[in-house]
Amino acid sequence: MEKSIIIIGAGIAGLSAGCYAQMNGYNTHIFEMDTKPGGVCTAWKRKGYTIDGCIHWLVGSGPASNFYHIWEELGIIKNHTFIDHDEYLRIIGKEGKYFALYSDPDRLEKHMKELAPEDSGVIEDFIKGIRKGIGFDMPSDKAPELYNPFDVVKMLFQMLPYMGYMRKWSKLSAGEFASRFKNSFMREALLAIAEDVPDLPMLALVMPMAWVYQKTAGYPLGGSLEFSRTIEKRYLDLGGEVSYKSPVAKVMVENDRAVGIRLADGTEHHGDIIISAADGHTTIFDMLEGKYINDKIQGYYDNLALFPPLVFVAFGVNRTFDELPHSVSGFNLPLDEPITIAGKELSRLTLHVYNFDSSLAPEGKTVIRVMISTVFDYWDELYKDPERYKAEKERIADQVIAQLSKHFPGLAEQVEMRDVATPVTWVRYTGNWRGSYEGWMMGAESFRMRMSKTLPGLENFYMVGQWVEPGGGLPPAAMSGRNVTQIICKKDKKPFITTRP
């Protein structure tokens, strides 16, 4: 009889693990605490508008990327239309001046040199970095945990021409790079890009710019929930089972072997293998009561930086924004008057305009959205006082509309729907630790870090998803579900098989 696998969480990692395990003949059952699939890769409806909670870009949407085959296997490529934007981000200055990170490096170079002729050397270096990234990709077919010496040599051989490139751009932070510009507007614009992550390695900017140029980081029309539902369908078509509204309270362990799960309502389910695709902190410290940990893992949770939690302000607006270009990350705008949230004064906001996806709003109308990084403890405390929590959300929505109206006259009167989500919202719906929306921050330290998918001393148990893939993101989440299935197959002495719908 085939082995049974219980998977905790129907986010992209859990669904992916389920799909690949089903492809390989395991009987799987996913238990998800929410009412729908996707985890943070989700969307919600308000007054006829769909507020998208996730995807700006999907790395691997085009065949130039090594992730493409994973999205094919999960049914994404066959079922989605992708659009590739002309711009990554536009930073607006004063008096109509702007810096647009164009997807086309030729156009970007020309534009940057027009803005800052005195910095042509730094600009050429940057463009060279993007161009060099065009040939570069990470192998994604075999789980690194299963590499044999031959695989290591093969990978090193493939990487060799890029070693210097990787070293150079991963050592250089966005903050340091900005300081190389003599031109003050360019310096400020680059600092605005890296506002939340000044030690963000520049590799995390030049490589994605190369992906955007190669049209392999597109946006799936229909948005994040449709995307997640496609993988859920693939999973169900492969014979998988999923139970929603089923929060897992404990991983049951006998003689240091995971043997099942206990739901919050007390029901128990047994499996030969347990995979947690849920939040890492909850898994390790609550479901397993901190019994299977070592100093290294404890160190992650004590010391590593997290992606900041978000205040997410969305509006449904009775107007089109046809005059604005389509952009991956939107428009970074200066504010006339700063807005203070959780003690942090904001002088700029990044506005995402969904003028490229008409399915998210009634005809002639548009969803716009502002993502603001914030402080978890402030919101956690405020949430205990429902009146003040609600009032604070209203104040923020009012102030954001007032400021946006200065850039888009008449906007305040055209707003038909407003919705504010906070870090507490993310915790309530996805369980992510301290509201971090993407797990461990992509920083100089975590950039090359590889985390184990197993816990010390615990058999038959694995972890997948953004809490074991530093930097997070949809491709690593999907890949970790694929990789863990390879590891399980190898242990069971079975060949690893993939299929396409």
Q: Least distance (Å) from ligand FAD to the CB of residue 476?
A: 7
* Closer residue to ligand FAD (CB): 115 or 223: 223
If one asks whether residue 57 binds ligand FAD (CB under 6 A), the answer comes out as: yes
Nearest to ligand FAD of 68, 181 (CB atom)? 68
Considering the complex, state which of residue 370 and residue 382 has its C-beta at the smaller distance from ligand FAD: 370
39-47, 83-91, 194-202, 409-417 -> range binding ligand FAD (CB under 6 A): 39-47
Q: How far apart are CA 60 and CA 66, in angstroms?
A: 7
54-62, 192-200, 290-298, 446-454 -> range binding ligand FAD (CB under 6 A): 54-62
Residue placing its CB nearer to ligand FAD in the complex, 277 or 417: 277
Tokens of 183: 């031109």
Cα maximum dimension of the chain: 70
Task: Confirm or reject binding of residue 278 to ligand FAD (CB under 6 A).
Answer: yes
Out of 109, 279, 357, 419, point to the residue binding ligand FAD (CB under 6 A): 279
Contact 104, 238 (CB under 8 A): no
x-or-dash string of contact with ligand FAD, 453-492, rule CB under 6 A = ------------xx-----xxxx-x---------------
Residue among 465, 467, 497, 500 at smallest CA distance from 480: 465
Task: Please report, for the chain, how many H helices and E strands are present, in that order.
Answer: 18, 20
Pick from 19, 33, 368, 484 the residue near ligand FAD by CB under 6 A. Answer: 33
Distances (CA, A) of 377 to 45, 113, 196: 27, 43, 17
Q: How many residues bind ligand FAD (CB under 6 A)?
A: 37
325/330 Cα distance (integer angstroms) = 9
Sign of CA dihedral 127, 130, 132, 134: negative
131 binds ligand FAD (CB under 6 A): no
* 10 touching ligand FAD, by CB under 6 A: yes
Task: Please give the structure tokens belonging to residue 243.
Answer: 């139970």
- ∠ at Cα 440 (72, 195), nearest 5°? 100
Q: Which is nearer to ligand FAD, 50 or 123 (CB)?
A: 50
Q: Is 385 exposed, middle or buried (0-12, 13-18, 19+ CB in 10 A)?
A: exposed
Q: Which of 17, 24, 26, 39 binds ligand FAD (CB under 6 A)?
A: 39
Q: Report whether 6 contacts 29 (CB < 8 A).
A: yes
> Does residue 361 touch ligand FAD according to CB under 6 A?
no
Which residues of this chain interact with ligand FAD, rule CB under 6 A? Answer: 8-14, 31-34, 39-41, 53-57, 247-248, 277-279, 282, 430-432, 437-438, 465-466, 472-475, 477
